[in-house]
Every structure is written in structure tokens, then in C-alpha cells.
Amino acid sequence: MARIADIARLSGASSATVDRVLNQRPGVRAVTVQRVLKAAHELGYVLDAALPANALRPLKLAFLLPAGTNRFLSLLGRHIAAAQDQLASFNMRARVDYIESFKPELLAQQLRQVARDVDGIAFMAIEHPAVREAVNGLAERGIPTVTLISDVANSSRVAYVGLDNRAAGRTAGYLVARFIGPRPAKVAMIAGSLSYRAHEEREMGFLHVFQELFPAIEVVGLREGHDDEAKNYRRTKSLLARHPDLAGIYNIGGGPEGIARALKETGRQHEVAFVGHGLTPDTRALLLDGTMDAVITQHPQAALMSCVSIFANLRAGRPATDGMSGPSIEIILRENLP
């Protein structure tokens, strides 16, 4: 028969932790509980009959992400798809599904369809009644949902994994204003879509920081580019033509390459302060050549592990965010590129 020391070696936990799990005592993180139970099962250890009946069955998860050209979302999807061995160590399996962006009815339909085959869903939400209704319906059926990057208000989702987007918008505004300096100027925003609550909250934060701290800087407008490089290129060309004295651009969503191309074509890449979101190979290159001044980001691995912790907590009968803390805003400049 396997011993506690054997389970400890296989699970990577201490013998004391293994003992706590096998005797169902509190004080162990949910993800660690799952690792210990999985190791015990693999070694043939006879578990207490009082443990939940589904304690050893792999938890099936689905991640629903918008399809399109947003490089950070593509990076997140690839990271999840490549993490199957890591997920298996927590007794979980995950699939990644991509759906057409900015279509709430399609997202609601996909949520209901995917829920037939999984134990939990993490997804980038669209703020819309159809999505809210789908989430609430899944909750009634016992299928927990976690919103990723962008939340949906007044719904029964179990947790939100992402930045404080209002604070992120304020941070972007503060950076742009400091890059411009103490002078009257004009700045603009380009969003993916304000149907994403994250983008709406970033816009609000950006506007408020100028109203409160930098009244000499005028925010001249907001354009929606749907995270599309070509649309962002056209939006930026239009902004530069209408406001030749434009001093700053905040890219709320994806598609920074289009903005960068417009700036470079007009020779303004080192004159216009340019701040955006999501550290990817593309934004890294734009930081290095000086076209972008700062990138506000979160790490895909951290987002994935937050989802793992949430679903592990739920499986263990604990509050969804037990033992967790929210992600912090990371500001990446050329000089501190990781």
C-alpha cells in the first residue's frame, strides 16, 4: 500500500499537507487538494469514503475567447491549449473555443451549447442581456462560469478574472499626460468595442483622470476599431488628419499595429504618446522601436491559474475566490521589458 510519503513525493506536497487532505482537515488550497487526491488515486491509496464522489474525476473546463486579430487573446488561447499537462496535475482538462467577436447572441448560444459537455466555463464576456440570461441559466443548472478580462454586471457568474479596468484606464491617462508634459494638448482613444464592459470602464477611467488632474489636455474623441488592425489604421489616419496637433493616443483594445502604421506613415511615431494593452511579440517590437511608450498588461499564465484555483475551490465546496487575490496592473516600458 502507498504511504503518505509516497503521495507527498508524487504530488509535490509535504507529508503534513497530504495528511491534512486525506483526513479532510481545512487549511489546504483547493488546487493542492486536487493534486494530492490525484496522486493518491494513481498510487492506489484507499481514500476515505466520505470524500466527494467526483473528487477524482477530471474536471472538464471550456474557455471561450473571441476570434479575430487580437494578439493578446490569441496568446492566451495558445497558452491554455499548451497547458494540458499542467492542468492534468490539478486533475483538470480544458478546451479552447473561439467565437466571432462582438456578437452577444452568438456568445449566449455558445455558452449554452458548450455547457452540455463541461463542468465549468471561463469566457470573455459581452455586456448584454442575452449573455447575462445565459450565465444565469447555467448557474441554475449548476454550471459555474468565470468571466475573463471583461465582466458582465448583475449576473450569477461565480468570479471575474482580470484587471480593475477603471484603474487601468486611469493609469493609461496618467501615463499619457506625463509623457506629454505640462502643456495644452489633445489626446484620443481607440477602443475595440464598448460592448465590452472592460473597454467602457477603461474609457471612463481615462476620461476622469484628465478631468481631475490634467484639465489643460483635451480628449477629442473615441473611435471603435473592433480590435482590427486595418480599422485601427483608418481610425488613426482620420484622427491625425482632423487633429494635426494630436499629442497622445490610448488604444483600449487590440490591433496596435494599425495605429503604429498610421503614426509611422505620417512620421509622428516619436511625437505622439502611444499607450496600449497586452504584451505580445507585436507590442514588444513597438516598444523597442519607440512607437509605443507603454503597455499595460497581465500575464496569461496568471489568468489561467486564477481560473484553475476558482474551479478547484468550487469543487472542494469552498467560496470561489477563497485564498486568492486580484491581479495587479503591470506597466511595461522599453527599459523594463521582461
- pLDDT (tens digit, 9 = 90+) per residue, 246-267? 999 999 999 999 999 999 999 9
Mapped onto helix, strand or coil, the DSSP state of residue 2 is coil
188 touches 222 (CB < 8 A): yes
Please report which confidence band the pLDDT of residue 52 belongs to, taking 50, 70 and 90 as the band edges. low
Domain 165-297, CATH among 3.40.50.720, 3.40.50.2300, 3.40.50.1100, 3.90.1300.10: 3.40.50.2300
Beta-strand relationship, 330-332 and 294-297:
antiparallel
Distances 78 to 91, 98, 226, 305 between C-alpha atoms, Å: 20, 11, 21, 15
Residue 1 has pLDDT above 70, yes or no: no
140 touches 146 (CB < 8 A): no
Residue 54 has pLDDT above 60, yes or no: no
d(CA 32, CA 24): 13
Residues written for the chain:
338
For 95-105, write each residue's pLDDT tens digit: 999 999 889 99
- Low-confidence winner among 3-12, 31-40, 156-165, 314-323 (lowest mean pLDDT): 31-40
Among 192, 162, 155, which residue's Cα sits nearest to residue 68? 192
CATH of domain 59-161+299-327: 3.40.50.2300
Distances 5 to 8, 17, 91, 197 between C-alpha atoms, Å: 5, 11, 20, 48
In the numeric block, which cell numbers belong to residue 183? 502643456
211 touches 238 (CB < 8 A): no
d(CA 320, CA 312): 8
44 touches 38 (CB < 8 A): no
Please report which confidence band the pLDDT of residue 219 belongs to, taking 50, 70 and 90 as the band edges. very high
Higher pLDDT, 45 or 256: 256
In the numeric block, which cell numbers belong to residue 90? 490539478
139 touches 115 (CB < 8 A): no
Q: What is the pTM of this model?
A: 0.83
In the numeric block, which cell numbers belong to residue 313? 475551490
Residue 208 has pLDDT above 90, yes or no: yes
What's CA 130's distance to the chain center, in Å? 21
Percent of residues, the chain, with pLDDT higher than 90: 75
* For range 275-279, the mean pLDDT: 97
CATH of domain 1-57: 1.10.260.40
For 75-94, write each residue's pLDDT tens digit: 999 999 999 988 988 889 99
Does 165-297 match 59-161+299-327 at the fold level? yes
Distances 227 to 209, 254, 309 between C-alpha atoms, Å: 24, 4, 30
The domain locations on the chain are 1-57, 59-161+299-327, 165-297
**149 secondary structure, DSSP code:** S
Which H or E run includes 190? strand 185-191
Residue 46 has pLDDT above 80, yes or no: no
pLDDT at residue 306, as a whole number: 94
Among 64, 67, 154, which residue's Cα sits nearest to residue 113? 64
Mean pLDDT across the chain: 92
Q: How many CB atoms lie within 10 A of CB 123?
A: 27
* For range 208-232, the mean pLDDT: 95
Please report which confidence band the pLDDT of residue 131 belongs to, taking 50, 70 and 90 as the band edges. very high
